[in-house]
C-alpha cells in the first residue's frame, strides 16, 4: 500500500527530477531522526551516570557522619594495607658499672678523744650516762665520704655499749663512736688487728653484739667464728657488683686467743687458711678486698714480708690490698697477679684519728679507687681496678690534746700546723713537714694533695 497516494512506478524506470528530490528529502529526514535518537540516548546515559554519582556521594557522606557520631573507626579490612619497613636489630652493647670505694686507716680512739666527746655531749669527760658526741672530731672530713659508694674503715679499737671505755694498752670505745662512723657513711669495718683480744672473750662477745645491733647494711670483716666455711667471707653487692671482704692481722700483742671466745682473728702466718679463703672469695665475688694489719709500727719502710704477702694475695685472687697498723703512711703500688690482673696495694694508710704524740703518727691518708665491672653481650664478664689515689689527712689538736679534729691536707693550713700541740714533742712539725713526709713516702702517681 502506498501511503503517499503516489502511483506505482514501473520497475527500472529512471526517477524523475522531482522524485529524486523527494527521495533526498526522505533520506535526510531519516538521518536526522537517527541523529536525534542517538543524542537522546547519550543524554539519558550521562544523566544516569550523574544520578549514580550523586547517590554514591550521598551514601558515603551518610556513612561517614554515622561513623563520626559513634566514634568508631572504619573497618580496617576496607583500608589499603601497607607493609612496614623491617626494624633493624640493635647491636647489643656492654653493660659497664663502676663502684667508687674509699678505704681509711686506723680509727684509734685514745681516752683524749672519747673524753672530749663526752664533754661535748654535756658530761664531765667521765659521765657515761650522757653519752658521747664525736661530731667535732670528724666534722671537717665528713663531706668527703658522701661521694663514695663504699667506705671501708680499720676500726682499731673494740666498740661496745657494755664495757667501760678504756685507753692504751687495752682499748674499749663507746658504742656512740660506731654509730657516728655509720652516720658518716662508713659501711665496712675491719675488726682484725692487734687490739682485738684486748678485753678477752667478754670483749669479743660485746663488740660482736654491738655490730650485730647495727643496721643490716653495716658489715664487719676479720672477726670470724669459723675458718672453714663461707661465713668467714663478708659479701656486699653494690649496683650489681659483688665485693668480698677479708681481713687478717700479724699478731695480737702477745695476747693468745681466748679459749672460750665465740670468734677469733686469723693470723697472717696462717697462709693455708688465707689462700683458701681468698681463692674462694674470688669465686663468689667480682672483686676481693683484703685488709692486712701488718708491718712495723712507726716505720715508713715497707718490709720484705709485706711485699711477699701482697704478691701472694694478688696471685690467690685479691684485687685490692689495704694495709694498716704502722700508724704512719707507707707507699702504694700496682702489682701484676699470676693471672695478669692489676692489683692495687696500699702498704699502710697510717692513722685516721688518734691522740698520739709524734708528728708522723698524725699524718694519714684515705685511699680511693674505682671497681669497674663490664658485662659483655656474650655474657662474659671483665673486671678492673683503676684510679688509685691517696688523699692525705692530718689529725690536729691544740696544746694539752684539746680541740682534737681531723682535716684533709687540702683543707689544712700553715697557721693550724704552727699551733699544733704536737710541736712540744716534734718541734719540726709544720705544714711543710707534713708535705715532706707525704712526698717522701708516697709515689706521686698516687699522692693527691689537692683533693
Triad 366, 196, 426: Cα angle to 5°: 50
Q: Is the CB of residue 293 less than 8 Å from the CB of residue 324?
A: yes
Identify which of 261, 115, 223, 224 has the alpha carbon closest to the alpha carbon of residue 174. 115
Q: What is the mean pLDDT of residues 389-400?
A: 98
What DSSP string describes 14-52?
A: PPPHHHHHHHHHHHHHHHHHHHHHHHHHHHHHHHHHHHH
pLDDT at 64: 54
What is the tens place of the pLDDT at every residue in 229-248? 899 999 999 999 999 999 99
Helix pair 175-184, 200-212: axis angle to 10 deg: 40
pLDDT at residue 59 greater than cutoff 50: yes
Q: What is the mean pLDDT of residues 381-410?
A: 98
pLDDT at 5: 46
- SS3 for 368? strand
Q: What is the mean pLDDT of residues 213-242?
A: 96
CA distances from 376 to 39, 88, 91, 96, 241 (A): 83, 21, 12, 9, 14
pLDDT at 3: 45
* Strand duo 241-249 + 234-238: pairing: antiparallel
pLDDT at residue 324 greater than cutoff 50: yes
Q: What is the mean pLDDT of residues 359-366?
A: 98
- SS3 for 221? strand
pLDDT at 405: 98
Sheet bearing 342-346, strands edge to edge: 234-238, 241-249, 287-293, 320-324, 342-346, 332-336
State the pTM of this model.
0.81
Q: Is the CB of residue 309 less than 8 Å from the CB of residue 317?
A: no
pLDDT at residue 104 greater than cutoff 80: yes
pLDDT at 4: 46
The three cell numbers locating residue 405: 679534729
Triad 170, 262, 296: Cα angle to 5°: 40
What DSSP string describes 302-335?
A: PPHHHHHHHHHHHHHT-SEEEEE-SSSB--EEEE
- Measured CA to CA, the distance from residue 344 to residue 385 in angstroms comes to 7
Provide the CA 445 distance to its chain's centre, in angstroms: 25
CATH topology of domain 95-441: Purple Acid Phosphatase; chain A, domain 2 (3.60.21)
What is the tens place of the pLDDT at every residue in 2-15? 444 444 444 455 66
φ, ψ of residue 410 to 5 degrees: the values are: -65, -25
What is the tens place of the pLDDT at every residue in 419-436? 999 999 999 999 999 999
pLDDT bin (cut points 50, 70, 90) of residue 67 is very low
Q: What is the mean pLDDT of residues 326-354?
A: 98
What is the tens place of the pLDDT at every residue in 16-52? 766 666 667 666 666 667 777 777 777 776 666 677 7
Tell me how crowded residue 445 is: count the other CB atoms within 10 A of its CB: 12
pLDDT bin (cut points 50, 70, 90) of residue 63 is low
> In the chain, where are the structural domains located?
95-441
More confident residue, 123 or 22: 123
What is the tens place of the pLDDT at every residue in 156-212? 999 999 999 999 999 999 999 999 999 999 999 999 999 999 999 999 999 999 999
Identify which of 364, 352, 351, 292 has the alpha carbon closest to the alpha carbon of residue 322. 292
φ, ψ of residue 385 to 5 degrees: the values are: -100, 135
For residue 243, what is the enclosing H or E element?
A: strand 241-249
- Measured CA to CA, the distance from residue 280 to residue 363 in angstroms comes to 36
- Measured CA to CA, the distance from residue 446 to residue 336 in angstroms comes to 17
What is the tens place of the pLDDT at every residue in 87-101? 888 888 999 999 999
pLDDT at 77: 55
The three cell numbers locating residue 3: 501511503
Grid cell 667535732 in the structure block, residue: 136
For residue 211, what is the enclosing H or E element?
A: helix 200-212
Q: Is the CB of residue 312 less than 8 Å from the CB of residue 298?
A: no
Amino acid at each position: 500500500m502506498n501511503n503517499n497516494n503516489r502511483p506505482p512506478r514501473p520497475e527500472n524506470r529512471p526517477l524523475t527530477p522531482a522524485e529524486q528530490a523527494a527521495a533526498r528529502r526522505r533520506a535526510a529526514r531519516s538521518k536526522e531522526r537517527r541523529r536525534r535518537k542517538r543524542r537522546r540516548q547519550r543524554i539519558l546515559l550521562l544523566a544516569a551516570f550523574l544520578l549514580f554519582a550523586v547517590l554514591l556521594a550521598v551514601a558515603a557522606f551518610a556513612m561517614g557522619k554515622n561513623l563520626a557520631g559513634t566514634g568508631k573507626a572504619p573497618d580496617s579490612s576496607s583500608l589499603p594495607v601497607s607493609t612496614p619497613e623491617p626494624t633493624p636489630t640493635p647491636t647489643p652493647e656492654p653493660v659497664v658499672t663502676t663502684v667508687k670505694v674509699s678505704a681509711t686507716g686506723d680509727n684509734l680512739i685514745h681516752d683524749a678523744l672519747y673524753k672530749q666527746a663526752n664533754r661535748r655531749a654535756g658530761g664531765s669527760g667521765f659521765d657515761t650516762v650522757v653519752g658521747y658526741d664525736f661530731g667535732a672530731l670528724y666534722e671537717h672530713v665528713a663531706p668527703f665520704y658522701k661521694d663514695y659508694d663504699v667506705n671501708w674503715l680499720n676500726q682499731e679499737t673494740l666498740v661496745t655499749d657494755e664495757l667501760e671505755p678504756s685507753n692504751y694498752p687495752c682499748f674499749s670505745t663507746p658504742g656512740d663512736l660506731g654509730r657516728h662512723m655509720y652516720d658518716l657513711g662508713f659501711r665496712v669495718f675491719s675488726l682484725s688487728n692487734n687490739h682485738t683480744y684486748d678485753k678477752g672473750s667478754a670483749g669479743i662477745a660485746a663488740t660482736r653484739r654491738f655490730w650485730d645491733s647495727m643496721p643490716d647494711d653495716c658489715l664487719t670483716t676479720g672477726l670470724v667464728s669459723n675458718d672453714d666455711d663461707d661465713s668467714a667471707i663478708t659479701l656486699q653487692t653494690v649496683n650489681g657488683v659483688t665485693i668480698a671482704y677479708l681481713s687478717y692481722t700479724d699478731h695480737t700483742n702477745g695476747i693468745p686467743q681466748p679459749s672460750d671466745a665465740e670468734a677469733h682473728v686469723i693470723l697472717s702466718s696462717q697462709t693455708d687458711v688465707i689462700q683458701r679463703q681468698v681463692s674462694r672469695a674470688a669465686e663468689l665475688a667480682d672483686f676481693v678486698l683484703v685488709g692486712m694489719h701488718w708491718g712495723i709500727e712507726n716505720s715508713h719502710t715497707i718490709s720484705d714480708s709485706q711485699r711477699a704477702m701482697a704478691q701472694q694475695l694478688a696471685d690467690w685472687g685479691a684485687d685490692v690490698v689495704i694495709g694498716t697498723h704502722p700508724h704512719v703512711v707507707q707507699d702504694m703500688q700496682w702489682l701484676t697477679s699470676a693471672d695478669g690482673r692489676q692489683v692495687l696495694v696500699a702498704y699502710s694508710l697510717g692513722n685516721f684519728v688518734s691522740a698520739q704524740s709524734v708528728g708522723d703518727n698524725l699524718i694519714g691518708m684515705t685511699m680511693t679507687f674505682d671497681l669497674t665491672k663490664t658485662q659483655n653481650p656474650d655474657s662474659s664478664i671483665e673486671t678492673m681496678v683503676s684510679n688509685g689515689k691517696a688523699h692525705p689527712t692530718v689529725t690536729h689538736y691544740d696544746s694539752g690534746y684539746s680541740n682534737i679534729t681531723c682535716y684533709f691536707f687540702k683543707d689544712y693550713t700553715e697557721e693550724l700546723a704552727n699551733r699544733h700541740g704536737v710541736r712540744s714533742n716534734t718541734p719540726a712539725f709544720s705544714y711543710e713537714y707534713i708535705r715532706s713526709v707525704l712526698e717522701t713516702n708516697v709515689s706521686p702517681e698516687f699522692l693527691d694533695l689537692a683533693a
